[in-house]
């Protein structure tokens, strides 16, 4: 079983990353849960989601000690870094985080996700850059399953953005 927390500001695609992981897990025949948490603000407020992907039945969608976290901003780093299981993975959007993670017992990958997304011409793909980094470091689901999930998770009016999202995923996977 893999438990993941994804967190950031509303509008950063945090919930979409979680939905993509959950849907990809379903496509691969795995048990999944996706549990969003956000305030009344749609954009600008903080939000997070918990994703659990397992070969076996999932007892609860609540994640208190995740195997991995993807954090897109400083408040999310401050809140979720202490919760990661020792030996776990932390992916940080270093463009928007002004401090280094403090934990020495987890693997940390700092990626300038927003800066890379800006290079691609759309800052809103920073979530896909971060997800690509995560997928390279943790093989919980395949890139192919994520690609197939984009068509299901994104509304039809955003399907024209699928090639850009795939490009952002690939840039994240290629990040060293």
Q: Is the pLDDT of residue 43 over 80?
A: no
pLDDT band at residue 44 under the 50/70/90 scheme:
low
Q: Which residues pair with 91 in a beta bridge?
A: 70, 109
pLDDT (0 to 100) of residue 10: 84
Largest Cα–Cα distance in the chain?
43
Phi (first) and psi of residue 67, to 5 degrees: -75, -25
Which of 46, 32, 36, 38 is closest to 3 using CA atoms? 32
pLDDT (0 to 100) of residue 106: 98
Instruction: Give CA separation, 77 vs 4, 9, 39, 152, in Å.
Output: 14, 12, 18, 29
Are 91 and 68 a contacting pair, CB within 8 Å? yes
pLDDT (0 to 100) of residue 53: 98
The tens digit of pLDDT for each residue in 61-112 reads 889 999 999 999 999 999 999 999 999 999 999 999 999 999 999 999 999 9
Phi (first) and psi of residue 105, to 5 degrees: -105, 15
**Domain 2-174, what fold?**
Pyruvate-ferredoxin Oxidoreductase; domain 3 (3.40.920)
**More confident position, 39 or 2:** 2
Q: Is the pLDDT of residue 42 over 70?
A: no
Q: Where are the domains of the chain?
A: 2-174
């Amino acid at each position: 079983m893999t438990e993941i927390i994804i967190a950031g500001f509303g509008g950063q695609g945090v919930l979409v990353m979680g939905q993509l992981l959950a849907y990809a897990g379903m496509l691969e025949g795995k048990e999944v849960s996706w549990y969003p948490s956000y305030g009344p603000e749609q954009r600008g407020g903080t939000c997070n989601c918990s994703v659990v992907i397992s070969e076996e039945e999932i007892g609860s969608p609540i994640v208190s000690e995740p195997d991995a976290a993807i954090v897109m901003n400083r408040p999310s780093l401050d809140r979720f870094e202490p919760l990661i299981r020792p030996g776990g993975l932390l992916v940080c959007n270093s463009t928007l985080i002004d401090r280094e993670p403090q934990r020495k017992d987890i693997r940390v990958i700092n990626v300038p996700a927003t800066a890379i997304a800006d290079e691609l011409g759309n800052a809103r793909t920073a979530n896909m850059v971060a997800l690509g980094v995560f997928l390279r470091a943790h093989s919980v689901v395949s890139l192919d399953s994520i690609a197939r999930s984009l068509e299901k998770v994104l509304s039809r009016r955003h399907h024209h953005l699928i090639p850009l999202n795939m490009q952002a995923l690939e840039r994240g996977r290629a990040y060293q």
